[in-house]
Amino acid sequence: MNDPVFTVAAQQGNVADRMGRPLRDLRISVTDRCNFRCVYCMPKEVFGKDYQFLEHKELLTFEEIARLARIFAALGIEKIRLTGGEPLVRRHIEKLIELLAAIPGLDLTLTTNGALLAKKAPALKAAGLNRITVSLDSLDDAVFMKMNDVDFPVARVLEGIDAAAAAGLAPIKINMVVKRGLNDQSVVAMARHFRGSGHILRFIEYMDVGHTNGWRMDDVVTAKEIVGAINADAPLEQCDPNYRGEVAERWRYSDGSGEIGVIASVSQAFCRDCTRARLSTEGSLYTCLFATAGHALKPLLRGGASDAEITDAITTVWRKRDDRYSEIRTAQTVKLHKVEMSFIGG
Ligand code: SAM
Ligand code: SF4
Ligand code: SF4
């Protein structure tokens, strides 16, 4: 790829991969645990009572995460997203946010299922979190409970969203994964609810992450179908991306009442612009959401390696990167033993 923006980034010292993609974003999974069992992510049959989650000593400490974040920032990372599992179940997460917020020039954000948000929003903001994304798959309790599979009610997620807005974490992004036959009938109601709220609702195509969610192409409701359904209810116009590599395609309501996003990771792959690295809960670096293996950084962290040695290790991995899974997805790749999203970080 010879995109001038990417070439300049590489010339400015940002490490580039084999396809010329700089390292710009880092997603950090702070826990592999979650208080939900979403059927498309951590199905109960697999993540049941006997499931072996990581022990606390296996997780990176907040100091280790912050050290890596500083190293990544020096390599050109501009944005960090905390994720999981459910990041708000990691105890004292606001202490990690404080450490990361001290790194100059970083956009710091977090994705949550919202269950603990009403309680935690003020502390997250006070610790230095810039923005937040809340996942919500339906406004219909019966549908939502079927999806989160722990009988969690919609109203409490909405309370979390309100608390985050009141704490100053707005504009808030709302993520809705759409799975055919499960919540596709909730799309228009969700769009109507958030239209004019100032929050940005983003629809995500259901993906074959991990190897346990039983994904089938037939279950994917495409971005085109989603935009078509909303446009029939309230006319939409496509807008320009905010920046090169933006994951969501943006659409605004013609009457000026706000915008929505669609993340067409299955029907319109965007690997050529993918500048994201992922740090798993136990400290391995992954260069793709659909990776089957990572690169362990924890032995370096705990074995006395210098920042320069860790920088070298990260640079070596990124320079070799040629991932473009979504562009080459086939019935065969779907069966690969990919790392679970709750572990690698969504
Ligand atoms: N627990 C937090 C949450 O749900 O927001 C953060 C982690 S979750 C893995 C991150 C995002 O990935 C959520 O918005 C979730 O809906 C999305 N996600 C999980 N499984 C998915 C799948 N199979 N396809 C598409 N998106 C998925
Ligand atoms: Fe938990 Fe988020 Fe996965 Fe749902 S999508 S099971 S809330 S990690
Ligand atoms: Fe990036 Fe991998 Fe997703 Fe492609 S499939 S956009 S390389 S994470």
What is the H or E stretch that residue 278 is in?
A: strand 276-279
Q: Backbone phi, then psi, for 282, in 5-degree steps? A: -100, 20
pLDDT at 170: 86
Q: Is 41 in the pocket of ligand 1 (CB under 6 A)?
A: yes
Query: What is the chain's percent helix, strand, coil content, to nearest 5?
Result: 35, 15, 45
Domains of the chain: 4-172+272-344 (3.20.20.70)
Q: How far, in Å, CA of 290 to CA of 113, rounded?
A: 21
pLDDT at 340: 82
- Count of all residues that appear for the chain in the document: 346
pLDDT at 2: 43
pLDDT at 3: 52
**Ligand 3: which of 324, 328, 334, 336 to mutate, judged by most atoms within 8 Å of the beta carbon?**
324
User: Which ligand lies nearest to the CA atom of residue 46 in the structure?
Assistant: 2
The single residue listed with the structure tokens 């074995």 is 303
Q: Is 342 in the pocket of ligand 2 (CB under 6 A)?
A: yes
Q: Whose CA is nearest to atom 4 of ligand 2?
A: 38
Distances (CA, A) of 141 to 42, 154, 174, 204, 206: 19, 6, 17, 20, 20
**Beta pairing partners, 263:** 204
Over the chain (346 residues), the average pLDDT of each successive run of 10 is 49 80 97 96 94 96 98 96 97 98 97 98 98 98 98 98 97 97 97 97 93 88 97 96 84 96 92 95 96 96 98 98 89 81 78
Q: How far, in Å, CA of 265 to CA of 93, rounded?
A: 29
pLDDT at 6: 54
**Ligand 1: which of 46, 109, 111, 206 to mutate, judged by most atoms within 8 Å of the beta carbon?**
111
